[in-house]
């Protein structure tokens, strides 16, 4: 299919900010692992034909079980991640067979269907697109000693989210160029920008949080509970 869309969902991290021995992506949210909530969003989206899940080597087996239990049949591969997120994403990219790819954080379960569609449509128009939200707080640039150097204009600042959407061939080239040059990017779009691919932001939602701290988990529980009450 000329406009087929695949997703690499990255869940290989072992963040420490949650303060739990269990990795944040496998913590339960309303009785279901966070990563499963995230996978279900893309499983149910009509645009998506393939999903590759990137996880830790020690988590492959339980993820395979969840794919069966929750009937996530768009998941075509579950692969172990690398030492850096960049290496993990690349391990997922090479397993896809689609023209377009979205890269998404495994701990962002609240991305909405229309946001996924809007990100894809903008990428088709521009070349690449990322979900983002305008920065609400005033931002200060500070030196190593804590002295304020400047105050950037907040109107030009956006907090970047996922998914981030690209032509698969473009992103693979950008990743391979970064590897050759010894570059570790902060996200996928930074590597695309470096390779000369135009990237556009698509305004997303402040609800599309990355669950990394206990406060985030509390907000996530509230969001799921509130959503269930509205639907009942």
Domains of the chain: 5-231 (3.90.550.10)
Instruction: Say if residue 217's pLDDT is above 60.
Output: yes
pLDDT given at position 15: 55
Instruction: Say if residue 21's pLDDT is above 90.
Output: no
pLDDT band at 229 (very low <50, low <70, confident <90, very high): low
Reported pTM = 0.91
Beta bridge mates, 53: 9, 78
Structure token pair of residue 50: 């393939």
Mean per-residue pLDDT for 19-44?
Answer: 86
Query: Is the CB of residue 80 less than 8 Å from the CB of residue 59?
Result: no
* Measured distance CA(101)–CA(165) in Å, rounded: 6
pLDDT given at position 22: 65
Q: State how far the alpha carbon of 20 is from the alpha carbons of 50, 160, 213, 221, in Å.
A: 31, 26, 10, 17
DSSP reduced 3-state for 10: strand
Helix (H) or strand (E) holding 101: strand 100-105
Mean per-residue pLDDT for 61-88?
Answer: 95
Residue scoring higher pLDDT (148 or 213):
148
> 28: which residues sit within 8 A by CB, 6+ positions away?
34
Instruction: Say if residue 98's pLDDT is above 60.
Output: yes
Indicate the average pLDDT of the chain. Answer: 91
Structure token pair of residue 203: 């305004």
Structure token pair of residue 108: 């962002």
In percent, the amount of the chain with pLDDT more than 90 equals 78
């Amino acid at each position: 299919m000329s406009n087929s869309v695949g997703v690499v969902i990255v869940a290989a991290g072992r963040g420490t900010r949650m303060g739990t021995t269990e990795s944040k992506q496998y913590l339960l949210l309303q009785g279901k692992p966070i990563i499963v909530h995230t996978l279900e969003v893309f499983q149910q989206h009509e645009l998506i034909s393939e999903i590759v899940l990137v996880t830790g080597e020690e988590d492959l087996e339980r993820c395979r079980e969840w794919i069966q239990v929750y009937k996530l049949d768009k998941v075509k591969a579950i692969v172990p991640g690398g030492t850096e997120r960049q290496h993990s994403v690349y391990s997922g990219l090479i397993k896809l067979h689609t023209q377009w790819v979205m890269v998404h954080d495994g701990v962002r379960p609240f991305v909405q269907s229309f946001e996924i569609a809007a990100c894809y449509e903008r990428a088709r128009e521009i070349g690449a697109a990322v979900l983002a939200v305008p920065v609400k707080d005033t931002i200060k640039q500070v030196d190593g000693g804590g002295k304020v150097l400047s105050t950037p204009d907040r109107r030009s600042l956006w907090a970047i989210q996922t998914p981030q959407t690209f032509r698969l061939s473009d992103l693979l080239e950008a990743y391979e160029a970064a590897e050759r040059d010894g570059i570790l990017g902060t996200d996928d779009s930074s590597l695309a920008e470096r390779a000369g691919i135009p990237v556009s932001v698509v305004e997303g939602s402040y609800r599309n949080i990355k669950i990394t701290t206990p406060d985030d988990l509390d907000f996530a529980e509230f969001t799921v509970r509130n959503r269930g009450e509205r639907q009942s």
